[in-house]
Amino acid sequence: MTSGMETGAIEFAVESLESPALTKAQLADLLFEHIGLNKRESKDMVDAFFDLIVQSLVDGQDVKLSGFGNFQIRTKAPRPGRNPRTGETIPIEARRVVTFHASSKLKEQIQGRSKEA
């Protein structure tokens, strides 16, 4: 979205959505309504954006979105685990996981929003 766009219009549109979670389809609708892209272009842009993020993470690259946060790939070491139902010890293999760290700007916005409520 462009930096010159008023955030109030987008916040209003997001709050009026029926689902408690923002979906890719809703993001495409917002692009259609606020940017003027047609619905197909909006959907393709949202899909391409997330495909780029996913491919970067799969390739082992961190993703940094200024003013939003960082997605990082972390390798977790193997460790012993336990089946909670049987108590049996089972090995948990090493694996790669994605972590997200919100930017300080996003944290400030969230804190400001919770203080208003």
Q: Per-residue pLDDT tens for 27-62?
A: 999 999 998 889 999 999 999 999 999 999 999 999
The top-level CATH class assigned to 62-117 is few secondary structures
CB distance 100 to 71 below 8 Å = yes
Residue 108 has pLDDT above 90, yes or no: yes
List the structure tokens of 24.
């890719």
The CATH H-level (homologous superfamily) assignment of domain 1-60 is IHF-like DNA-binding proteins (4.10.520.10)
What pLDDT is stored for residue 12 in this prediction? 44
What is the per-residue pLDDT across 63-85, written as a single tens digit (0 to 9) for each?
A: 999 999 999 999 999 999 999 99
List the structure tokens of 11.
């916040």
Residue 17 has pLDDT above 60, yes or no: no
Q: Residue 44's CB: how many other CB atoms inside 10 A?
A: 13
